[in-house]
Amino acid sequence: MTSLLATSLLGQNSFAKRPGGSKSKKELVLRSSWQTVNIGDIGHTPGVLHLLEKHLPEVRVRLWATDVGNGVREMLSGRFPEIEIFTNSDKEAVARAMIECDFLLHGSGPSLVARGDVKRWKEETGKPYGVYGITFPGVYSDDPKEVIEANPLDVQLLNAAAFAFFRDSVSLDLAKKLGVNNPVMEFCPDGAFAVDLRDDASAAAFMNEHGLEEDKFMCVIPRNRLTPWWEVPSKNRALDEKKNARNELMREHDNAPLREAIIAVVRQTPMKVLICPEDETQVKLGKQILLDKLPEDVKEKVVWRDRYWLTDEAVSTYVRSAGIFGLEMHSPIMCLGNGIPAIVGRFAEQTSKGLMWRDIGLDDWLFDFDDEADIARYVSAVLAMAHNPAAARKKAAKGKKFVEKRQKETMGILEKKLKI
């Protein structure tokens, strides 16, 4: 930001001030919206925006996004029409936010994703900022002997923040070991727990088309060990031979238990099963690794979603289901945040984020797919959820209550830092 542009914008900054120069409202800029090919990465943003709306209604909020293409901008604007949305390509909007906003909040994510912009905010404005629910340091190594290290810039920025919140206790503990000593460091549930987006019309139409009845089906999401970004045209990435080989090696191992669970649910309960994606690459994967390998009698009660969807339609579908299981994280997060039972399968390549299920008291619904003993009890857990939906919802409600308590507490800390 040039000093000339800053001076010009300061002169234009009339809407946010009262006569006499004092602001009518505190202003916050949320740095979030990392990508749009994954409904969970989309979900971080509307979740935190909902929390700000609920707990800090007197604060004016702007969204500084990385990517709001593919219909995401329109979806967010439909739910939050009063919020200005801009990306780094809009240099003037970024410059205005740097001048006019009182606080920068880095949203939930797999790491300190926008470290460069946080650094810029710190150096150019000197105003406070906070980090709201990240995994740290957000790296994975397939070498068990390799020592995990943090980006030195991340440590500096987290130490200088008004608060540093981590979305799983492993990240919190690791941050302390790696040199983060911020006096306000706590566990903070992922922002996506608070997603309340809806596209009921699309969800109802899809369900009607495929004979899915409310509360009479479960959702399942398959996954590769490592997201094959080379399969996403918009990412324009070359095939990663090493990652692809790891996926090929583990695909059947990881997804076979999901097929077993589908078979058990279909054959032993009245439930149907919907195979659906959290990211674009899982549409094809769902057919190849789950649907195509099911027995014919089971296929009759299984629906494969043959196209990607956005977060609003996905959540509207999830809330009409009896629960979700699979190998993803954010669809379970959004389900639980809406009171829907959710079983999480995880493995080392997903870093420590899945362990937040343990942090919110849902150990029985957390399965380590690197542990054969854990895998052995997976099908029975899914079946129990299908057999007794009332008990499952009661358990989900308990987890949701804990999450909402932490949301209120962490938003209270933000309120104090804003000095409202």
User: What average pLDDT does the structure give for the chain?
Assistant: 94
The reported pLDDT for the residue numbered 8 is 43
The reported pLDDT for the residue numbered 3 is 40
Residue 1 clears pLDDT 50, i.e. is over it: no
**Strand ranges in 225-316 using DSSP code E only, listed in sequence order:** 272-275, 302-304
Mean pLDDT of 249-278: 98
The reported pLDDT for the residue numbered 126 is 98
The reported pLDDT for the residue numbered 16 is 37
Residue 15 clears pLDDT 90, i.e. is over it: no
The reported pLDDT for the residue numbered 18 is 34
The reported pLDDT for the residue numbered 141 is 74
One-letter amino acid identity for 193?
A: F
**Strand ranges in 135-191 using DSSP code E only, listed in sequence order:** 163-166, 185-187
In this structure, whether the domain defined by 3-194 belongs to CATH 3.40.50.2000 is answered with: yes
The reported pLDDT for the residue numbered 12 is 40
Strand (E) or helix (H) holding 386? helix 378-387
Residue 4 clears pLDDT 70, i.e. is over it: no
The reported pLDDT for the residue numbered 27 is 98
Sheet architecture: strand order including 324-326: 302-304, 272-275, 217-221, 324-326
Mean pLDDT of 84-108: 98
Sheet architecture: strand order including 27-32: 84-87, 60-65, 27-32, 103-106, 129-134, 163-166, 185-187
pLDDT tens-place string over residues 335-386: 999 999 999 999 999 999 999 999 999 999 999 999 999 999 999 999 999 9
Binning pLDDT at 50, 70 and 90, where does residue 414 land? Answer: very high
φ/ψ of residue 303, rounded to 5: -110, 130
Proportion of the chain above pLDDT 90, given as a percent: 91
And the tokens for 331? 């669809």
The reported pLDDT for the residue numbered 191 is 98
pLDDT tens-place string over residues 202-232: 999 999 999 999 999 999 999 999 999 999 9
86 neighbors 117 (Cβ within 8 angstroms): no
Q: Measured between alpha carbons, how far is 401 from 399 in angstroms, rounded to an integer?
A: 5
The reported pLDDT for the residue numbered 24 is 74
CA distance to 9, 214, 291, 306, 324, per residue, from 288 (Å): 54, 27, 6, 12, 20
pLDDT greater at residue 20 or residue 264:
264
The reported pLDDT for the residue numbered 23 is 62
Mean pLDDT of 72-79: 98
The reported pLDDT for the residue numbered 62 is 98
Lowest model confidence (mean pLDDT) among 12-26, 119-133, 135-149, 171-185: 12-26
Q: Measured between alpha carbons, how far is 152 from 119 in angstroms, rounded to an integer?
A: 12
Residue 21 clears pLDDT 90, i.e. is over it: no
Region(s) of the chain under CATH 3.40.50.2000? 3-194, 200-403
pLDDT tens-place string over residues 231-256: 999 999 999 999 999 999 999 999 99
Tell me which fold the domain 200-403 belongs to.
Rossmann fold (3.40.50)
Q: How far is C-alpha 368 from the chain's CA centre?
A: 19
Is 4 buried (19+), middle (13-18) or exposed (0-12) by CB count in 10 A?
Answer: exposed
pLDDT tens-place string over residues 39-57: 999 999 999 999 999 999 9
Residue 13 clears pLDDT 80, i.e. is over it: no
The reported pLDDT for the residue numbered 144 is 65
